[in-house]
Amino acid sequence: MSRIGYKPISVPQGVTIHFDEKKIEITGPKGTESAPLFLGINVLLNENILKIDRDENLLPKGSNQKAKKQLKALHGLVRSLVNNCIIGTTSGFVRTLEIKGVGYRAQQKGRDVQLQLGFSHEVFFKVPEKVDVIVKTPTEIIISGTNKELVGQVASDIRGLKKPEPYKGKGIRYKEEHVIMKAGKVGKK
């Protein structure tokens, strides 16, 4: 059984936290992020230590085991979301994509990215707000931002334009991704 919800979170200098019954808002040097709070989840802040607790007494009377089990799951979820907000507002999140293939490349067009991926046309990717996309080299794209979910989703959307194929490895992949290659057809001898 996971015990993530019980781990205390250390709050770095320069981070302010405001919360009520519905959400917690975290402001740091890189921006502001918020996470939802649910019925039965309490936030305790002592100096630079933040604790997320659950209180089953706050559940409506007559709650069954299913509601208690869901509260346990939400306990770990809220703790992870709050921790991601603190990390995002202090240091941020970064994903790096590599482009492999002859003639495959990317270039910056303002905030957006123009990609040549072997199609008969160029692909334009519109970058959402709160995320920065930098084309470092024509074959390397760096995605950064304060929201872990949004950074991961943008990286996944760009990768989804041309996933790496298993025979030559051409396509867009994460920098740390290992693509398993298949052997091609063996000809007659």
Diameter of the chain by CA atoms? Answer: 78
User: Would 182 be classed as within a structural domain?
Assistant: no
Residue 184 falls within a domain, yes or no? no
Model confidence, pTM: 0.85
For the cut 90, the answer to whether the pLDDT of residue 156 exceeds it is yes
Say yes or no: 13 and 80 in one domain: yes
The domain total for the chain is: 2
Are residue 134 and residue 81 in the same domain, yes or no? Answer: no
Residues 84 and 97 placed together within one structural domain of the fold: no
Beta pairing class for 41-46 and 31-36: unpaired
Q: Identify whether the C-beta of residue 37 lies closer than 8 Å to the C-beta of residue 60.
A: no
The reply to whether 135 and 67 lie within a common domain is no
Predicted confidence band at 186 (pLDDT cuts at 50, 70, 90)?
A: confident
Q: How confident is the model at residue 5 (pLDDT cuts 50, 70, 90)?
A: confident
What are 121's two structure tokens? 């046309």
For 62-79, the pLDDT digits (tens) are 667 777 788 888 888 999
Q: Are residues 77 and 102 in the same domain?
A: no
- 133 strand-pairing partners: 143
Q: What is the pLDDT of residues 161-174, one digit of tens each?
A: 999 999 998 999 99
Domain boundary among 38, 67, 90: 90
Considering the chain, what is the average pLDDT of its residues?
Answer: 89
Instruction: Verify that 119 and 75 share a domain, yes or no.
Output: no
How far apart are alpha carbons 152 and 114 in whole angstroms? 19
Structural domain range at position 97: 93-174
Same domain, 81 and 98: no
Using the Cα atoms of residue 150, residue 153, residue 159 and residue 162 in order, give the sign of their dihedral: negative
Determine the 3-state secondary structure of 107 from DSSP: strand
CATH code for position 81:
3.90.930.12
Per-residue pLDDT at 1 exceeds 70: no
Inter-CA distances, 106 with 11, 22, 41, Å: 38, 42, 45
Q: How many CB atoms lie under 10 A from the CB of residue 178?
A: 7
Question: Does 109 map to a domain?
Answer: yes
- At 171, phi and psi to the nearest 5? 140, -165
Q: What is the pLDDT of residue 3?
A: 84
Coil/strand/helix, residue 56: helix
Residue whose C-alpha is closest to residue 132's, from 114, 147, 117, 121: 147
Rg of the chain over all Cα atoms, to the nearest angstrom: 22
45 and 59, same domain (yes or no): yes
